[in-house]
Structure 1
Amino acid sequence: MTMTLQFLGATEEVTGSCHLLTVGSKQILLDCGLIQGSKADTLRNQDPFDFDPTAIDAVILSHAHIDHSGRIPKLIKAGYRGPIYTHKASAQLCDIMLKDAAMLQSRDVERLNKRRKKNDLPQLEPLFDEDDVTQAMKQFVALSYGQTLTIFSELQVRLSDAGHILGSAIIELWVTDQDIQKKLVFSGDLGREGMPILNDPVAIPEADLVLMESTYGNRTHRSWLDTITELKQIFAEAIRGSRGNILLPAFSVGRAQELLYLFHLYAEEWDLSAWKICLDSPMAIEATKVYLDNYPLMDEDFKRFTRQHPGEHPLLSNVEFVQSTEQSMELNDVSQGLIIIAGSGMCNGGRIRCHLEHNLWRPECDVIICGYQALSTPGRLLVDGADHLKIHGKVVKVAAKLHTVGGLSAHADQHELVSWYRKFNNAPPLILVHGEPEAQQGLIKALQENTKLSPSSTIAAKHGDKLDLSALPQMVWLG
């Protein structure tokens, strides 16, 4: 009898989500995400998988963000030909995001190989290419929220809305081997309560084991009301000042659409009429179209607003879509009055790098950081007070005003994580993933103070840890 869960990614770090579930003779992968961060971190993506890709029977994907989906094409390249189960909106978004990732892989490896050649180092291959992405998309199986599907006799799955980005899912798994059945709940990335556009994360009452993210396990975000007030003040100060440009590094899926909605709702209150708002990200533009196609998944406030303002869609008005590279470069000739939303959200790639190069050294400009910044990324360096950044080989002084708006985060904070867990009956054992050690220890302390969890039933997973699910509720670890 075999029923185990092994943790192979996003252990004591926030990216690279990947967990291997074994039930009887079947092996199921929960997520297969890209490792992000420093150059050393990203090079770890080149390492072989910790398992045989051809032996995997199914992949279940929580959502489309690259740190959860980004190594799926590498899995395909290594020979995986089984199904990839995810929400239908996540499948649509993956088609966009994985193609973009393939392009970036080719470009980055080409640049890296030029340096490696000079140092007589072996040449690297891209993790995957667009052909691998095309094959991957053929293997996606689209599911709806609330649909219970029997994948094998040993496994049933159901997705519920996680409220993090469009299509993000909490994964419920019923695993059976011989006469033993256990229920595993994987949170994926949990969204916040009361945030715009999307619904709140669904509460799940029953589980034998909970696998939960912990990105902001030691943090409490500002309230939504305080966040709106903070943004209003930032724009008011920019207008009163010399009115340089305002840059918003934003994740193309989720954050970009949220910002478009806010700029529509508060255009008058924030006095944005004199500003030109640009969404400078082809991927974010394509993702916005997917949001438009999935209107039924939006929360009631969004749908009510849209019904009350026919012909004035809140994600399309008051913004200019910047598609071509030439259009993007032209923005660098404008010294003031621009609000530029561009990827990447951690400032480690994409068009935001070019805009930072042209604006970061100017004290009349503003940079608004509004999402999680992984260790060693340029965005994290800015948040931590760097006085310069190296961009495109140049050292750029940091003189622009920097604002960190944590209240815009799409991740649940400590209070919300504890609240979501408390809705389970009987305090099931809990394993934390997708968080840095300090955040995880802070969350463990809060959970033990505010729930019935015992210290022996709460742990932050380490890479390679393997849990015997058949022994639950006892936490029995295997070598």
Structure 2
Amino acid sequence: MRISFCGAAKLVTGSCYYIETENRKFLIDCGMFQGEKSELNFEPFPFDPRDLDFVIITHSHIDHIGRLPLLFKNGFNGSIFATSATADLMEIMLKDSAHIQELESKWQNKKRQRKGLVPIKPLYTVEDTLRIPEYIIKSPYDRWIVIDENIHVMFKDAGHLLGSSIIILKIKEKNNEILITFSGDLGNYNIPIIRDYEYIDYTDYLIIESTYGDRLHDKTEEIKKLYDIIINTVKKGGNVIIPAFSVGRAQEILYLLNYYIDIEKRKELSNMEIYLDSPLAKEALEIYEKHKECYDEEAINLLGQDIDILRFNNLYTTSSAEESMALNDKNGIVIISSSGMCEAGRIKHHLKHNIWKDTTSIVFVGYQAEGTLGRKILDNAKKVRIFGEEMVVKAKVYNLTGLSGHADIAGLINWVKNIKNGVSKKIFITHGEEKASENFKKEMEKLFNVSVLIPDLFEKVEL
């Protein structure tokens, strides 16, 4: 048996693991590269999609599903296994991703035409995404799914996003049975709305993420800081710009603004205009409300008190481009918009109209990959280029990592320590920048008397 690390190896995006057994070839995730590695999205897959039997998806963020339509364009026609909530979110996420790429290529081609260059095509179109739902097999948590007599899969709640999963594979080969566990993205402790991650009993091989493998979160203080930033900025007539992933982070921020506030701050916030400027996030709200089976005890209790956890009186949602553009004429408001790393979507327009103002506050609440616009702003760039125009950065920039959907180093260690009977053979550390992965590797070597490896991108390993 062999595993190839076709993404998220010594970097955070592009999650994709190619597994070859005696009789089967399949993937765990098929994500899009973002930031400085985004050019890899246009490179051929290091395997033939026509040879794949099936794909298993951990969750519906684009860095885990974003290249699925390319598989189909290149001849794949197998099944996709995912939880029900992941399947529903995947449908709207892929359509939105395709729409953004169509718009981006159209904009790029106007520039290329003026230079006499050959037009470029989007990675895929909305039409390319329409056939995918019919191939999805919706799978429950905590039950062995029989793919064939030699391969079984179980989904465990990863606590990262609605429907997110830890994947456990039970594979029989040459009279041996082994367990391979993919952590997926493990959730931060006590994320709003959804349950915390589940533990596993045992595994032979562990492939685990390390996004925050070198830092700790302070969630309680970060929430207080978020309220203070909003209140102080709006009082001075400035806008608060919050880049947020449309699915997951946007809903969690709404929950925090709606519920996790003391009475006095609730009164102050209730007089402010808060805008969710993302059609995708608006669609995702409905899917969140549909899948209450993923909610944690606190959210269910609030629903029992007839509290609408994701909608409130001073929350406004936008749909049309005209409604979004109208926000540029407003001051003293909060705008939650996507994409979370500021690489595409409406957030770039809001940054263009606000980043040069010293009254603006930009609040990052999620991971910013190397090479992205969000990372450049976060790294204190004095100037950034947005839509081809160089802009000075005068806005105040905040990084509230405690609100991240990823477990910190303590959360990762806690999950591994609670593997009841441990890891018997090998640990692979992925989905992290090198510094974070190296730090996490040292921690894993303290806990387990097994080999711990950080694979290179496209490295192949025999199991």
Sort the TM-score into its range (normalised by shorter chain).
over 0.9
In structure 2, the partner of 1:8 is 6
Which of 362, 367, 370 in structure 1 is aligned with 2:365?
A: 370
Q: Report the CA distance shift for 1:5/1:325 in structure 2 as closer, same or farther (over 3 A).
A: same
Deviations 1:342-367 (A, max 9, x none): 00101111111111111111111211
Partner-residue secondary structure (3-state), 1:25 = coil
SS at match of 1:101: helix
1:254 aligns with 2:248: yes
For residues 292-345 of structure 1, the C-alpha deviation after alignment (integer angstroms, 9 at most, x for no partner) is 00012100001101211x1x4110123111111111111111122x11100010
In the alignment, the residues of structure 2 paired with residue 116 and residue 237 of structure 1 have an alpha-carbon distance, to the nearest angstrom, of 44
Would you say the 8 A contact 1:23–1:176 is kept in 2? no
* Equivalent residue, structure 2, for 1:352: 347
How far did residue 103 of structure 1 move?
1.1
Match among 200, 205, 222 for residue 227 of structure 1: 222
Cα distance in 1 for residues equivalent to 2:103 and 2:440: 39
In the alignment, is residue 264 of structure 1 matched against residue 258 of structure 2?
A: yes
Change (3 A) 1:126 1:438: same
Q: For residues 189-243 of structure 1, give each alpha carbon's deviation from its aligned partner in whole angstroms, at most 9, with x where no partner exists.
A: 1101222111111001110000001111111111x22222222332343255x13
Change (3 A) 1:433 1:269: farther
Do 1:374 and 1:380's aligned partners in 2 also have CA atoms closer than 8 Å?
Answer: yes
| DSSP 3-state at the match of 2:303 | helix
Can you give the 5+ residue segments of structure 2 that lack an aligned partner in the other structure? none
Query: For residues 332 and 377 of structure 1, what CA distance do their matches in structure 2 show?
Result: 23
Listed as ranges, the matches of 1:40-79 within 5 Å are: 41-79=37-75
Question: What is the TM-score normalised by the length of structure 2?
Answer: 0.95
- Structure 2 residue 103 is matched with structure 1 residue 112: no
Q: Deviations for 1:350-409, whole angstroms, at most 9, x for unmatched residues? A: 111111111111111211111000111111011100112211222222111111101000
Equivalences for residues 322-471 of structure 1 within 5 A: 322-336=318-332, 338-424=333-419, 425-428=421-424, 429-449=426-446, 451-454=447-450, 457-469=451-463
Residue 34 of structure 1 is matched in structure 2 by: 32
CA displacement 1:55-106 (0-9 Å, x = unmatched)? 0001001010000000000001101000000111111001101001111122
| Counterparts of 2:119 and 2:243, CA distance in 1 | 32
Deviates more, 1:386-395 or 1:262-271: 262-271
Q: CA deviation at 1:131?
A: 2.2
3-state DSSP of counterpart to 2:269: coil
Q: Which residue in the other structure is 1:98 paired with?
A: 94
Amino acid at match of 1:20: Y
Deviations 1:135-160 (A, max 9, x none): 11211111111121110222000101
Instruction: Say whether 1:291 aligns with 2:288.
Output: yes
Shift of 1:115: 4.1
Distance in 1 (CA, whole Å) between partners of 2:182 and 2:402 is: 24
The equivalent of 2:276 in structure 1 is: 279
> For the Cα contact (< 8 Å) 1:211–1:430, is it kept in 2?
yes
Return the alpha-carbon distance in structure 2 between the equivalents of residues 42 and 256 of structure 1: 24
Contact 2:234 2:240 in 1 (8 A): no
One-letter identity of the residue aligned with 2:411: E
Whole-angstrom distance in 1 between the partners of 2:204 and 2:95: 37
How far the C-alpha of 1:34 sits from its partner, in A, is: 0.4
Q: Is the 8 A contact 1:23 1:154 kept in 2?
A: no
What's the % identity of the aligned pairs?
A: 38
In 2: Cα distance, 1:67 partner to 1:169 partner: 15
Distance 2:354 2:422 in 1: 53
The answer to whether the Cα contact below 8 Å between 1:26 and 1:57 also exists between their aligned partners in 2 is yes
- 1:143 aligns with 139
Letter in 2 for 1:13: L
Query: Residues of 2 paired with 1:230 and 1:368: CA distance?
Result: 10
Deviation at 1:122, TM superposition (A): 4.6
Instruction: Output the CA distance in 1 between the equivalents of 2:298 and 2:4.
Output: 40
Q: Which amino acid aligns with 1:263?
A: L
Q: What amino acid is the match of 1:151?
A: I
Per the alignment, residue 149 of structure 2 pairs with 153
* Separation in structure 2 between the aligned mates of residue 267 and residue 112 of structure 1, nearest angstrom: 47
Do the aligned partners of residues 238 and 112 (structure 1) sit closer, same or farther apart at CA in structure 2, a change above 3 Å counting? closer
| Secondary structure at 1:85 match in 2 | strand
- 1:193 maps to amino acid: Y
C-alpha RMSD of the superposition: 1.5
The answer on whether the counterparts of 1:347 and 1:379 sit within 8 Å (CA) in structure 2 is: yes
Q: Distance in 2 between matches of 1:123 and 1:278?
A: 36
Partner of 1:189: 185
Deviation, 1:249, is 0.5
Seen in structure 2, the aligned counterparts of structure 1 residues 131 and 235 have a Cα distance that, compared at 3 Å, is: closer
Structure 1 position 119, deviation (Å): 5.4
* CA distance in structure 2 between the aligned counterparts of 1:431 and 1:402, rounded to whole angstroms: 34
- Normalising by structure 1, report the TM-score: 0.92
Change (3 A) 1:378 1:358: same
Q: Is the 8 A contact 2:208 2:429 kept in 1?
A: yes
Number of matched residues?
457
CA shift in 2, pair 1:199/1:269, >3 Å:
farther
SS in 2 for 1:171: strand
Counterpart contact for 1:367–1:402, Cα < 8 Å: yes
For residue 110 of structure 1, give the secondary structure of its aligned residue in structure 2.
helix
Moved more, 203-212 or 111-120: 111-120
CA spacing shift, 1:235–1:245, aligned 2, 3 Å:
same
Q: 1:116 Cα shift?
A: 4.3
